């Protein structure tokens, strides 16, 4: 079922990117500054080692100009022509303040976001690479950035300070900040089993669905934290999916025709999973209110609190109704995380090695996910149930 794409690298592959369009190319970057461009069949079209031989940490194709490939290495970004890998067409030296971890381009290809080890996010104007904004709110490494589709001035960032932030690029302060640790602690208060250990939710990878309103963030606690952005760019709702038994390193929305809420995740547990989030309460809030979310045990309401009775016939019924209402609220809050987790992924692949990067892509009309791990080869899995 799986296909191996080999001989493109001599060092472990760290990142993968795909150009838009049905006949698009793929690119991968590895340790030591290696960059390889692949055809849809897995044929190597070009190989290059970037000057300085620092790790290639992120590769992104321009959505506006598929002939432009941006690669981060050290604190620099190189612009390459993927069909002619002789050397950088353009170099943005010092694009990051420290080593760059992730790149993101907006829909129009007019802005490049650069996340680095200092925690800063720089926004570069394209073409030219002039720094137009420096966003400083993360107190630790900024690991991931993603623009909101259809909103080229809205940018999400996530970092090892366990924070997810939404920025409006007109300002240098975030529109909102979500602390994943606070949420995880609240959830674990009523969900933790004795002896169960949790890793802190260091945020590794942020992705936005094609609708622009649903955000997923893979974190070290094994969860993918979900956020819904409402009108006025406000954070409307958040929840999570317990996706992995160890840290979740990757989460990417997949653009399937059925709906925009397919998510592919990868983790340190060696699993790659495909999730249908269309019924998750964060994505579809009306699902939260449906009776099937809440399952009661018989006899749960046997003990009733005695209330002073003004109307003997009405009060016990009213008190019972209020109590039931309160129980529904509490149970539904837990259900956002727990009940959804029970439904499980639509596809679970035991890849067997820690996942460095995932790239969902359509190859020759077939939906696939390309997996980079600790090795020098790529693995391609068809997402066959779809």
Q: Could you tell me which of 163, 157, 160 has the C-alpha nearest to residue 179?
A: 163
Distances (CA, A) of 295 to 11, 41, 291, 339: 51, 48, 8, 10
pLDDT at position 351: 97
Q: Considering Cα of 381, then 346, then 375, then 58, what sign does the dihedral take?
A: positive
> Distance (Å, rounded) from C-alpha 369 to C-alpha 146?
19
Residue carrying the six token digits 């674990």: 188
pLDDT at position 292: 34
Residue 157 · residue 104 · CB < 8 Å: no
Chain centroid to CA 316: 48
Chain centroid to CA 41: 26
Supply the pTM of this predicted model.
0.84
pLDDT at position 342: 54
> Distance (Å, rounded) from C-alpha 2 to C-alpha 182?
39
Give the bridge partners for 131, in sequence order.
124
pLDDT at position 184: 67
Residue 215 · residue 227 · CB < 8 Å: yes
pLDDT at position 196: 46
pLDDT at position 300: 36
Instruction: Please report, to the nearest 10 degrees, the dihedral formed by the alpha carbons of residues 263, 359, 202, 94 taken in order.
Output: -140
> Distance (Å, rounded) from C-alpha 248 to C-alpha 140?
18
> Distance (Å, rounded) from C-alpha 177 to C-alpha 179?
7
pLDDT at position 197: 52
Is residue 212 packed enough to be buried (19+ CB in 10 Å), middle (13-18) or exposed (0-12)? Answer: middle
Q: Could you tell me which of 223, 213, 73, 204 has the C-alpha nearest to residue 145?
A: 204
pLDDT tens, residue order, the chain (386 aa): 799 999 999 999 999 999 987 778 999 999 999 999 999 999 999 999 999 999 999 999 999 987 899 999 999 999 999 999 999 999 999 999 999 999 999 999 999 999 999 999 999 999 999 999 999 999 999 999 999 999 999 999 999 999 999 999 999 999 999 999 988 676 655 454 444 456 899 999 999 999 999 999 999 999 999 999 999 999 999 999 999 999 999 999 998 888 999 999 999 999 999 999 999 999 998 755 443 333 333 333 333 333 333 343 444 444 444 434 433 333 333 334 433 545 799 999 999 999 999 999 999 999 999 999 999 999 999 997 55
């Amino acid at each position: 079922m799986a296909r191996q794409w080999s001989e493109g690298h001599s060092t472990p592959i760290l990142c993968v990117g795909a150009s838009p369009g049905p006949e698009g190319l793929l690119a991968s970057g590895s340790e030591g500054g290696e960059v390889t461009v692949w055809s849809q069949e897995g044929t190597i079209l070009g190989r290059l080692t970037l000057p300085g031989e620092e790790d290639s940490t992120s590769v992104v194709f321009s959505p506006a100009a598929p002939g432009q490939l941006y690669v981060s290495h050290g604190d620099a970004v190189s612009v390459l022509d993927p069909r002619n890998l002789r050397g950088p067409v353009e170099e943005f030296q010092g694009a990051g303040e420290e080593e760059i971890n992730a790149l993101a381009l907006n829909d129009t290809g007019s802005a490049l976001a650069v996340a680095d080890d200092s925690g800063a996010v720089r926004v570069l104007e394209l073409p030219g690479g002039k720094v137009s904004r420096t966003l400083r709110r993360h107190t630790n490494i900024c690991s991931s950035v993603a623009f909101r589709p259809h909103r080229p001035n809205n940018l999400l960032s996530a970092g090892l300070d366990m924070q997810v932030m939404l920025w409006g690029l007109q300002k240098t302060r975030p529109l909102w900040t979500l602390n994943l640790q606070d949420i995880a602690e609240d959830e674990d208060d009523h969900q933790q089993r004795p002896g169960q250990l949790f890793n802190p939710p260091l945020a590794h990878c942020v992705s936005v669905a094609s609708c622009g309103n649903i955000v997923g963030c893979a974190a070290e606690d094994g969860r993918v934290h979900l956020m819904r952005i409402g009108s006025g760019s406000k954070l409307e709702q958040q929840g999570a999916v317990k996706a992995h038994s160890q840290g979740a390193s990757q989460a990417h929305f997949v653009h399937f025709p059925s709906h925009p809420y397919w998510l592919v995740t990868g983790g340190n547990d060696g699993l790659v999973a495909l999730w249908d989030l269309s019924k998750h309460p964060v994505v579809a809030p009306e699902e939260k209110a449906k009776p099937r979310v809440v399952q009661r045990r018989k006899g749960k309401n046997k003990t009733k609190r005695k209330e002073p009775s003004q109307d003997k016939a009405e009060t016990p019924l009213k008190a019972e109704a209020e109590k039931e209402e309160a129980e529904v609220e509490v149970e539904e809050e837990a259900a956002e995380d727990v009940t959804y987790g029970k439904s499980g992924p639509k596809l679970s692949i035991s890849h067997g090695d820690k996942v460095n990067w995932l790239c969902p892509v359509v190859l020759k009309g077939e939906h696939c996910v390309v997996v980079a791990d600790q090795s020098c080869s790529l693995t391609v899995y068809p997402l066959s149930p779809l």
